[in-house]
Structure 1
């Protein structure tokens, strides 16, 4: 472990505080809303989004709020869906670049882990229901050290990936009103976690809901509620930089609007609270996002 001065971490006297919050945030960015719909054959959805986050507030494994020097993270994320058949969709979620920095360190960047999701429609017509399997491939930088601005002989690990192979399994259902531009979705998910360099991690449970409405036939708005909890009771920090024991409830509001033909602009705001699962092992602050997405519609025969 590289030496880190108390001044570097400010009011936090626990070395693990920043490390844990960093990886927790990286994983949070990948837990998006789920739906029961699959894409039509050859239909596509491709989005490039930028997300920004800054926080001094860290919730420990016991749920205590601690204040550290400010940490910031920015990410450029690709998200895509493609309909292989009317009932089978492939989804990719990949942080192309993530910038991590402490207010007393340099900023380092790197490629994130790739999440590939394989989604199959169990029911499609009256009550859309889908099941998906999504392995997360640890191709990001699991170790990336940034130098201190205060003492150049000190450095801290700010990874862009967690180094661990894990698999999400999700069951989701949706509905759309026949005479109004309104929809809703609910989902439940299980994250099977493995290990990193011999250190095992607790599996996770995720639940969520989403509603959306189209204004004036052009602008879609949505609201989401997500929650994540550990299957096992994690009371001891098993590894500083892997985020074991993360729990939270989050809410978000989004909007999207057409800008040119099939190109749309999207905006998103997300924050965290303790409504369902209390915050543990996480930095908590608003996450702002802006993106551009492109839709490909299959040619009607």
Structure 2
């Protein structure tokens, strides 16, 4: 029973900037999970909307403080909150601007009593209109300071619908999950499709090591890509992979560290900066 609880914990709670875990399990009634994480990303390797690698000449940097929570309303229904409480964006040639990222509120429902298959619907709520201008550190040739939009919110509502299934193996220490998800976007943005898998194993009854793989595709027949910051995610496609370590500090507290990165072996990288994201978090479970 204890090992199964570890598996449920590992599958339900993980969250990072690039790779969000999805599983077929829900939390037990009145069960609570809260995680606070800091993350950092830096890169100057930008893949254009045509998939061409273009060195931008300056690094793009983003960091933040992320809050993630789950609460078991019933044994089959879990409420989910994803709150980028602080998001900081900059180029190496600009000042840093910040704000609160899109707030995601969701509900996950376990469809079958005998098998961990869940359906989750989550609403992404914008926190601003998608404008957040950063000024250059140095003046241009005309003696003026340039500005660039580095939004922390895409300024539009999204509805994520996710179907996920999981399986815990008989040894009580290993699990696997798979999911598919569609993001229905507004404001003339293209809808998005994601799918992914993850596998985790418990070592020494305290340390979970987890590997993940995810793809994102654009769901649209139009060839045009809406102009604007790459941070809006319009026309963005990729393959991403990640590794998570989760160490049990006590009965209620856990230390979570994660690395994620992009690749192009399944889906081409388009309209995305390519590089690794690091995150470190502290989780509380009740």
Q: Give the TM-score normalised by structure 2.
A: 0.89
1:81 aligns with one of 54, 61, 70: 70
* Deviation (angstroms), 1:205: 0.7
* Deviation (angstroms), 1:30: 6.2
- Provide closer, same or farther for how the CA distance between residues 30 and 66 of structure 1 changes in structure 2, counting only shifts above 3 A: closer
- Match of residue 165 from structure 1: 157
User: Is 1:100 the equivalent of 2:92?
Assistant: no
* Deviation (angstroms), 1:140: 4.3
8 Å contact kept, 1:121–1:129: yes
- Hey, which bits of structure 1, 4+ residues long, moved more than 4 A? none
Instruction: Give unmatched runs, 5+ long, in structure 1.
Output: 1-27, 297-301
2:176 aligns with one of 180, 184, 193: 184
* Deviation (angstroms), 1:260: 3.4
8 Å contact kept, 2:19–2:240: no
2:225 aligns with one of 223, 228, 237: 237
- Match of residue 153 from structure 1: 145
Residue correspondence of structure 1 range 37-186 to structure 2 within 5 A = 37-68=25-56, 69-125=58-114, 127-140=115-128, 142-151=130-139, 153-186=145-178
| Counterpart Cα distance in 2 of 1:180 and 1:121 | 21
8 Å contact kept, 1:106–1:146: yes
2:204 aligns with one of 205, 213, 216: 216
- Provide closer, same or farther for how the CA distance between residues 173 and 83 of structure 1 changes in structure 2, counting only shifts above 3 A: same
* Deviation (angstroms), 1:139: 1.4
| Counterpart Cα distance in 2 of 1:210 and 1:61 | 28
- Match of residue 23 from structure 1: none
User: Is 1:266 the equivalent of 2:256?
Assistant: yes
* Deviation (angstroms), 1:177: 1.3
User: Is 1:205 the equivalent of 2:197?
Assistant: no
How many residue pairs align between the two structures? 264
Comparing 139-148 with 90-99, greater Cα deviation is found at: 139-148
8 Å contact kept, 1:234–1:245: no
* Deviation (angstroms), 1:93: 0.8
* Deviation (angstroms), 1:156: 1.2
* Deviation (angstroms), 1:237: 3.5
| Counterpart Cα distance in 1 of 2:175 and 2:199 | 6
8 Å contact kept, 1:133–1:170: yes
Q: CA RMSD in A?
A: 1.4
- Match of residue 15 from structure 1: none
* Deviation (angstroms), 1:233: 4.7
8 Å contact kept, 1:233–1:245: no
- Provide closer, same or farther for how the CA distance between residues 101 and 161 of structure 1 changes in structure 2, counting only shifts above 3 A: same
- Provide closer, same or farther for how the CA distance between residues 261 and 140 of structure 1 changes in structure 2, counting only shifts above 3 A: farther
Instruction: Give unmatched runs, 5+ long, in structure 2.
Output: 1-15
* Deviation (angstroms), 1:79: 0.6
User: Is 1:278 the equivalent of 2:245?
Assistant: no
Q: Deviations over 1:173-219 (max 9, x none)?
A: 00101333000100010110111xxxx11111100101100001110
Q: Deviations over 1:61-118 (max 9, x none)?
A: 1100001111110011001110000000011111000111111111111111101111
8 Å contact kept, 2:19–2:242: no
Comparing 111-120 with 30-39, greater Cα deviation is found at: 30-39
